[in-house]
Amino acid sequence: MTRSELIEQIKSKKNFLCVGLDPDIEKMPKHILNDEDDPIYEFNKKIIDATAPYCVAFKPNTAFYEAYGLNGIESLENTIKYIKQNYPNHFLIADAKRGDIGNTSSMYAKAFFSRLNCDAITVAPYMGSDSVKPFLKFEGKWAIALGLTSNEGAADFQMQKVDGRELYLNVIETCASWGTKDNMMFVVGATKAEMLDAIRKIIPDHFLLVPGVGAQGGSLADVCKHGLTKDIGLLVNSSRGIIYASNGKDFAEKAGAEAKKMADEMAQFVK
Amino acid sequence: MTRSELIEQIKSKKNFLCVGLDPDIEKMPKHILNDEDDPIYEFNKKIIDATAPYCVAFKPNTAFYEAYGLNGIESLENTIKYIKQNYPNHFLIADAKRGDIGNTSSMYAKAFFSRLNCDAITVAPYMGSDSVKPFLKFEGKWAIALGLTSNEGAADFQMQKVDGRELYLNVIETCASWGTKDNMMFVVGATKAEMLDAIRKIIPDHFLLVPGVGAQGGSLADVCKHGLTKDIGLLVNSSRGIIYASNGKDFAEKAGAEAKKMADEMAQFVK
């Protein structure tokens, strides 16, 4: 999906919500576990159908599938196919945080872009240019580099000073120089919204993928205040807050309602 | 596998070689591709059998399996099972470079340690403590954090100065404080052997996983000169140099010969 297509989706749907598909069988409704051959896929399908009208993107986190081995990977592949077939205009992000030496990153890019046909993949920047660039060679595909993450551990390295400013600013500026606003985005946690001012000085136009609203405590209003651009420039993700809104028979309905609530809140920011 | 068991393996086999299992069907012998249902697994089995007498560890890089989808993951799982069944005294590293927020890293740890029973997994440190610590909670299992990698892009961030010294030294010191020499190792590229002096000042006893000898140009003698400890403290990896020593019918024999050559060279350093 190109940048202009993504912006068009956001403007027509009047939201910039990304629903994180992080299935954890310990949190999923019991009746799904008992009833279905592939409970993860069945759970995802219902969540996707219920939330699709209120979001522009889906983001499966690969860890939650890998944890269940071959069956889990099959659930992931089926989920991706389901989204591609039924919701081809939704932006599909593989949250995999991959990154390795050049020839190995190329293998990952092939896996997620050529085979699975995802629109984007999250990448870890620590290994530098040749670990990120292979993801930028696919027409209409995106690398989403970790900039400033939403977790506690972000302080350990990302906020350390390099040449008088925080490492994450350095990482964002350097990664941005390898691609363009048409094939790169950055992960910037909502829990640190005020830091978006400094980030927007470096990358005024790039899209940001923003986790941390909801379960992790970030505020949508703060994120918009500091991060919004004329093209919106934000994909705000919520995972647990939406998909585990209920663990009863009404889980999909409640997830849809939760997504709608966030989408409604976003509408005021989409002119 | 515990630290003392690993040291015992190294001392009895008189080598500290790790064979990297990075199967690429474009480089594999044609007859394997034509003959077999699961060419990756068949290729790996023959490489493993031929090299096992001359190494103490195997390291499949997950990217090379994920690139082939479900079939590839099945090849990976079969390869891991084959090693565990036939060579239970070989140290088994999943080279996956994972790392995510706490609850997600826990899912990865569960996947690689509980399900696949690997001894170790490589982890990316950029997200900090809660992304690494979940891998340290399994008895006899190891997290191998990226310190200084062997690729060109290592210069982009790892060598930037934080408080007057390079970021990778900071990363190694901080990560080391989260675990012990019994459950943490570090990736340090052989292409930067002289930098091992500064690293050994910080972690005199930790094991290092050293890629970059062979195809990437690092020297074994240099690595030993700067990195060896009284307990050896090194696992030196070679992937392409061994597994693609030949792409004819004799590929396994040639891989074995290449591994033996490295093991023989290592023997002088194991007292």
Confidence of residue A73 (pLDDT cuts 50, 70, 90): very high
CA distance A238 to A54: 12
Q: State the DSSP H helix or E strand holding residue B162, giving kind and residue range, or none if neither.
A: strand B161-162
Confidence of residue B268 (pLDDT cuts 50, 70, 90): very high
CA distance A160 to A81: 41
CA distance B84 to A257: 48
Q: Which of B71, B127, B77, B79 is nearest to B102 (CA)?
A: B127
Count Cβ neighbours within 10 Å for each residue of B27-56 and write b for 16 or more, e otherwise. ebbeebeeeeeebbbbbbbbbbebbbebbb
CA distance A36 to A46: 13
**Which of chain A's residues have a Cβ under 8 Å away from the Cβ of B99?**
97, 124
Please check whether residue B114 is in contact with residue B145, taking contact to mean a CB–CB distance below 8 angstroms. no
Query: From residue A268, how far is each of A15, A224, A228 by CA, in Å?
Result: 9, 10, 12
Under an 8 A CB cutoff, do A128 and B158 touch? yes
Under an 8 A CB cutoff, do A149 and B127 touch? yes
Mean pLDDT of chain B: 95
Mean pLDDT of B234-240: 96
CA distance B51 to B76: 18
Predicted ipTM? 0.94
Count of positions (residues) in chain B: 271
At residue B107, what are phi and psi to the nearest 5 degrees? -65, -40
Q: Which of B89, B86, B49 is nearest to B255 (CA)?
A: B49
Cα torsion angle, B142, B145, B147, B153, sign: positive
Residue type for position A232: I
Under an 8 A CB cutoff, do B167 and A167 touch? yes
Tokens 């530098």 correspond to A128
DSSP state of B223: H
Is a pLDDT exceeding 70 seen at residue A215?
Answer: no
Span A122-149, pLDDT tens digits: 999 999 999 999 999 999 999 999 999 9
**Which of chain B's residues have a Cβ under 8 Å away from the Cβ of A129?**
152-153, 156
Mean pLDDT of A7-34: 96
> Within the 177-216 window of chain A, which residues sit less than 8 Å (CB to CB) from chain B?
none
Coil vs helix vs strand at B255: helix
> Within the 123-142 window of chain B, which residues sit less than 8 Å (CB to CB) from chain A?
124-132
Query: How many Å separate Cα B36 from the centre of its chain?
Result: 27
Question: To the nearest whole angstrom, how far is the Cα of A96 from the nearest Cα of chain B?
Answer: 8
Q: What is the pTM (predicted TM-score) of this model?
A: 0.96
What pLDDT, on a 0 to 100 scale, did the predictor assign at position A200? Answer: 97
B111–chain A Cβ distance below 8 A for any pair: yes
3-state helix, strand, coil split of chain A in percent (to 5) is 50, 20, 30
Q: Which residues contact A14 (CB under 8 A, 6 or more apart)?
A: A263, A266, A267, A270
Coil vs helix vs strand at A262: helix
CB atoms within 10 A of CB B103: 18
Q: Which residues contact B258 (CB under 8 A, 6 or more apart)?
A: B238, B241, B242, B245
**Which of chain A's residues have a Cβ under 8 Å away from the Cβ of B215?**
none
Kindly give the pairing relationship between strand A91-98 and strand B91-98: unpaired
Is a pLDDT exceeding 80 seen at residue B210?
Answer: yes
Across the interface, of B68, B100, B150, the residue whose CB is closest to A97 is B100
Confidence of residue A36 (pLDDT cuts 50, 70, 90): confident
Question: Hey, where are the domains in chain B?
Answer: 3-267
Is a pLDDT exceeding 90 seen at residue A91?
Answer: yes
Question: To the nearest whole angstrom, how far is the Cα of B63 from the nearest Cα of chain A?
Answer: 5
CB atoms within 10 A of CB A2: 14
Residue type for position B198: A
Across the interface, of B102, B146, B150, the residue whose CB is closest to A126 is B146
Is a pLDDT exceeding 70 seen at residue B113?
Answer: yes
Under an 8 A CB cutoff, do B104 and A61 touch? yes
Confidence of residue B96 (pLDDT cuts 50, 70, 90): very high
Q: Name the token pair of A57.
A: 């993107």
Across the interface, of B63, B69, B99, the residue whose CB is closest to A97 is B99
B64–chain A Cβ distance below 8 A for any pair: yes
Is a pLDDT exceeding 90 seen at residue A206?
Answer: yes
Please check whether residue A136 is in contact with residue A102, taking contact to mean a CB–CB distance below 8 angstroms. no
**Which of chain B's residues have a Cβ under 8 Å away from the Cβ of A124?**
97, 99, 124, 126-127
Under an 8 A CB cutoff, do A161 and B163 touch? yes
Question: To the nearest whole angstrom, how far is the Cα of B53 from the nearest Cα of chain A?
Answer: 27
Span B35-86, pLDDT tens digits: 788 999 999 999 999 999 999 999 999 999 999 989 999 999 999 999 999 9
Across the interface, of B111, B124, B170, the residue whose CB is closest to A124 is B124
What CATH superfamily is the domain A3-267? Aldolase class I (3.20.20.70)
Which residue does chain B place closest to A153, by CA atoms?
A: B128
Under an 8 A CB cutoff, do A152 and B167 touch? no
Kindly give the pairing relationship between strand A57-60 and strand A17-21: parallel
Which is the catalytic residue, given B45, B46, B59, B97?
A: B97
CB atoms within 10 A of CB A78: 16
Query: A259's torsion region: left (phi>0), alpha (psi -120 to 50) or beta?
Result: alpha
Confidence of residue B168 (pLDDT cuts 50, 70, 90): very high
Q: Which of A174, A105, A142, A195 is nearest to B158 (CA)?
A: A174
Across the interface, of B98, B115, B153, the residue whose CB is closest to A128 is B153
B164–chain A Cβ distance below 8 A for any pair: no
Under an 8 A CB cutoff, do A151 and B131 touch? yes
Span B154-163, pLDDT tens digits: 999 999 999 8
Across the interface, of A74, A108, A110, the residue whose CB is closest to B70 is A74
Under an 8 A CB cutoff, do A108 and B154 touch? no
Under an 8 A CB cutoff, do A163 and B163 touch? no
Interface probe, candidates A79, A100, A106, chain B, greatest B C-beta count within 10 A: A100
B153–chain A Cβ distance below 8 A for any pair: yes
What pLDDT, on a 0 to 100 scale, did the predictor assign at position A271? Answer: 80
